Amino acid sequence: MAVMRIGHINIRVLDMGAARHHYENVLGLLPQAEDAAGNVYLKGWDEWDKYSVILSPSDHAGMNYVAYKVQHDADLDLIKGRIEALGREAEMVAAGALPFCGRALRFNMPSGHLMYLYAEKEFVGKSVGVTNPEPWPDGLKGAGAHWLDHCLLMCELDPEKGVNKVAENEAFFREVLEFRLTEQLMVGPGLVVQAAAFMTCTSTPHDIAFVGGPQMGFHHASFYLDEWSDVLKAADVMGKNKVKIDVTPQRHGITRGATIYFFDPSGNRNETFGGLGYLAHPDMPVITWTEEEIGSAIFYHTGELKESFTTVYTEGI
């Protein structure tokens, strides 16, 4: 059984025209399709499946769901059985229920966030092709994001009430979906409360992350860039387009990535994430950050945690 990678994320937007300008001209994603309901499908130039982002018109911002791709169609049946063995619900939906995809498995994470798994999606290919490809295509717009890299989800955390959906999600992803924990933030007396978990199903530092907060929600979707200079250029593009920036170019302690946090016109947080950070091989020991170093863990240069990072986010379902 293998969950291979993140497949796509479905984001709700308030103004489709403004959202399309942001995702196409600021991030540089490429439009692929639009359906009768007004949903817009986009991909990065370095991605080969039909889309990695769905923008859905709505009267409230947030995330509808996130979907990951498994290696084999039979993996869906295996995972469905594992979920149901825990007494949790999982539903197999027919091909086409996820647009341009084969059949898919639908379920909720312990945190309440909706997730799909699928094995098949329409193939369109990279913008540079696969025969004698150039390093990048001509005509890229904005930041020229390569691909959807990961998402971070806010999970309810209230130690006084014995609620820790970060830890529940971490255990579920590790035991049921075979993700690996790469880094964690431990807080509280004795450092026994897992307040953040970064998990991978590939060899990157994280393919999904969970951070504790007062209620569940959607923190950000992240888009990959090559290196620090590309992150700086992305900041220039955001300045030109008057994008609301949450955190100007920084380095993470966790994952070591170079980052900018910013908001789309609907208030959904995005990230441009530059550089690999490190290779998260299966035998890599888990990296633990402690409460007194939380500032450096998130924003290594300043060593200070910006309040909005954990208090400002949109709905997660």
List the catalytic residues.
Answer: 150, 206, 220, 252, 261, 271
Question: d(Cα 217, Cα 282) in Å, to the nearest integer?
Answer: 29
* Six-digit token string for 222: 């992240």
Residues whose CB is less than 8 angstroms from the CB of residue 88 and which lie 6 or more positions away in sequence, other chains included: 107, 108
Question: d(Cα 120, Cα 73) in Å, to the nearest integer?
Answer: 8
**3-state class of 235 per DSSP?**
helix
Would you list the DSSP string of 111-168? TS-EEEEES-B-B---TT-SSS--SS-TT--TT----EEEEEEEEEEEGGGTEEHHHH
Q: Are the CB atoms for 201 and 185 separated by under 8 Å?
A: no
H or E element, residue 49: none
What phi, psi does 312 have (nearest 5°)? -110, 115
